[in-house]
Structure 1
């Protein structure tokens, strides 16, 4: 069975990719950090057991960002040939150019569109030693293919679950499970952002906001997602002058989103 490794600090991102690819008999293995992928800090590298045909690599991660991971991958004789597709919600032109110059072969913006991911993986593996992935996704080699029209039945309050519902092919029980994963973690993630803001630690703000942004992007709450992205950027640039104001806006929005999602779970 062909294998794709996703390197992302977001557990939810890995669940989404699994739901997209596993119905096509593609195994998905999750590495939650560069250390897990490469075997750093005494960890056993995931690639020792899983021989990936492609790697999906988040561009912004704690400890070591995707660009640094990509450099290390391309310096390793055993891993350098593997096609690497970058995942990011910060898909600037410069990010694209930097990643391509370092050896990436593709780029997918978050939240991940199922058809775009399949098309990209089929494209980058076709005609390579890893063509088993392209064969598994042969129906998606037409780049003009579009996903079905989004359903309107799951829009409510501050959330819109149509994105996940489409990925899950209408599997409401699995949708409830994924909402539950988010509910279990989101207030802790907000707590991490709050602590970083109180400590005045810009890099911790960046990391915590990035992790939360990656989670919330799947739940149809663009205002929350964009505010988390702004806070991530402020942390990256070390400009925390009005970060407390952004946090004061974020917290009640997340509380409302949490309540809406909890109400949906309780009623289904």
Structure 2
């Protein structure tokens, strides 16, 4: 697994803690992330800096929790864009978030395949 995109130590710790529920955690993160991406796009389309900040902050937290550090970092930048109301910077950052999430999704699905029973 690529540590630049996912921290394998965080995933190993989650496996230890979650045990049989680990695959559910992976699935939940992916579904939840899709919703968070929709909220980011919606806030950007509506030029809503406040909701952009909130959505980015929430997404950042969930990414951090599962070791998706690069994705969390992009969300942190997007959160700051919302905080500073620099909405002209949002489209490019959202594209970067979407590209990084596409990579993380593939890695998580690969991780998930290891737990098929």
Give TM-score scaled by structure 2 length.
0.85
| Alignment coverage as a number of residue pairs | 113
Q: Indicate yes or no: 2:81 matched with 1:234.
A: yes
Match of 1:74 in 2: none
* From 50, 55, 66, the counterpart of 1:219: 66
Match of 2:107 in 1: 260
* From 14, 31, 36, the counterpart of 1:184: 31
Q: Which has the higher contact order (CA 8 A, sep 6+)?
A: 2
CA RMSD of superposed structures (Å):
1.8
d(CA) in 2 for partners of 1:238 and 1:218? 26
Structure 1's unaligned 5+ residue stretches are 1-155
d(CA) in 2 for partners of 1:161 and 1:257? 12
Equivalent position SS for 1:238: coil
Query: What is the Cα deviation at residue 173 of structure 1?
Result: 2.0
* From 174, 180, 184, the counterpart of 2:21: 174
d(CA) in 1 for partners of 2:60 and 2:34? 13
Q: 1:57-96 counterparts in 2 under 5 A?
A: none
**Large movers: runs of 4+ above 6 Å:** none
Equivalent position SS for 1:220: coil
Which one has a larger percent helix, Structure 1 or Structure 2?
2
Could you report, residue by residue, the CA deviation over 1:204-225 in whole angstroms, capped at 9, with x for unpaired residues? 1001111111111122222211
State whether residues 196 and 202 of structure 1, in contact with CA within 8 Å, keep that contact through their aligned partners in structure 2.
yes
Match of 1:165 in 2: 12
d(CA) in 1 for partners of 2:76 and 2:18? 30
* From 54, 59, 65, the counterpart of 1:207: 54
| Residues 201, 159 of structure 1: alpha-carbon distance in 2 compared, 3 angstrom cutoff | same
Which one has a larger percent strand, Structure 1 or Structure 2?
1
Could you report, residue by residue, the CA deviation over 1:190-248 in whole angstroms, capped at 9, with x for unpaired residues? 11101111111100100111111111112222221111011111111212121111111
| Residues 171, 200 of structure 1: alpha-carbon distance in 2 compared, 3 angstrom cutoff | closer
